[in-house]
Each structure stands twice: as structure tokens, then as C-alpha cells.
């Protein structure tokens, strides 16, 4: 069953902006750290951003740092991802997910620490973002 629901995806030109939203009727977001993941065809799911339950700590993958901003409004039970300066390589299905905390760890034999899908028990169905050149 769907735990969280994303919206706001669409088709934009390179350099444009989109804001994704995520809500849930089953989860109280103030009990969870919230993350955004994306997956492009033929690639593994990438954890691009995370925010602590109180919103006082954030994480961004290098691929989106400086362009994307994660935020939350616990009173509205809503998570946001503001995406600016979009590039064709940002094209992917974007997923909202919830976890106990924003954990960074290595996986797949890599030394670099990153968000891991397995650490997020609750997921939305995804919203498609397509950036044209």
C-alpha cells in the first residue's frame, strides 16, 4: 500500500525549475526523517536529499547540491523539494521516503557514504521529472 504520495513532476526545459511535494495520510511526518530519491532508466536508485524530523539538518548529494533545496512543513504534513537549474541528467522518477533518521553509509563496496534505500521503510509511488535540452 502507498505510504506517501508525491506530486509536482513534469516536463521542463534545461535551466528551469520544479517543486515536488510529498504528503501522507498514514504517517505523521514529524515522527520521521524524510528523504528524496531518484531513479533513471538503467541506473540504481540515488539518494539525493534528506531532512531531519525537525528540519534542523539537511543532506544533499553532490549531484544536486547548490541546485536543489529540501524543506518540510510538519503542520501541513508535507515535504518539498525545490529543484532549480535543472539539467537533462536530472531526468528520473523521483520518490519520497521516510526513515528514523538521515543515515549516511557505504554500500556496494564503495567507500563514499550516501543515503541507502534499505534504510527507508516507507515509500511513495514516484513522480516523473523530465528535463529536455
pLDDT at 110: 76
Q: Would you state the torsion angle of the CA atoms of residues 43, 45, 49, 52, taken in this order, to the nearest 10 degrees?
A: -170
Residues in the chain: 133
Q: Could you tell me the end-to-end alpha-carbon distance of the chain, in angstroms, rounded to an integer?
A: 36
pLDDT exceeds cutoff 70 at 128: yes
3-state secondary structure at position 11: strand
Task: Find the mean pLDDT for residues 23-52.
Answer: 95
Q: Contact at 8 Å (CB) between 14 and 129?
A: no
Mean pLDDT, to the nearest integer, of 62-81? 96
pLDDT at 108: 79
| pLDDT number for residue 80 | 98
Among residues 76, 36, 80, 82, which one has the least CA distance to residue 59?
Answer: 36
pLDDT score of 124 more than 70: yes
Predicted local confidence at residue 1, as pLDDT: 60
Report residue 117: phi and psi, to 5°. Answer: -55, -35
CA distance 71 to 96: 12
Judge contact between 113 and 105, C-beta under 8 A.
yes
The pLDDT of 37-62, averaged and rounded, is 96
CA 2 to chain centre: 16
Mean pLDDT of the chain: 95
Are 116 and 44 in contact by the 8 Å Cβ rule? The answer is: no
Once rounded to an integer, what is the mean pLDDT over residues 70-94? 97
Q: What is the mean pLDDT of residues 42-65?
A: 96
pLDDT of residue 32: 95
Amino acid at each position: 500500500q502507498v505510504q506517501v504520495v508525491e506530486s509536482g513532476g513534469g516536463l521542463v526545459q534545461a535551466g528551469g525549475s520544479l517543486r515536488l511535494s510529498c504528503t501522507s495520510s498514514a504517517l505523521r511526518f514529524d515522527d520521521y526523517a524524510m528523504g528524496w530519491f531518484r531513479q533513471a532508466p538503467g541506473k540504481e536508485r540515488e539518494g539525493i536529499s534528506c531532512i531531519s524530523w525537525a528540519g534542523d539538518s539537511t543532506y544533499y548529494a553532490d549531484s544536486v547540491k547548490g541546485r536543489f533545496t529540501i524543506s518540510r512543513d510538519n503542520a501541513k504534513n508535507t515535504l518539498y523539494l525545490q529543484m532549480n537549474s535543472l539539467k537533462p541528467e536530472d531526468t528520473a522518477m523521483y520518490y519520497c521516503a521516510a526513515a528514523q533518521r538521515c543515515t549516511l553509509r557505504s554500500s556496494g563496496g564503495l567507500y563514499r557514504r550516501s543515503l541507502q534505500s534499505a534504510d527507508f521503510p516507507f515509500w511513495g509511488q514516484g513522480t516523473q521529472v523530465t528535463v529536455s535540452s
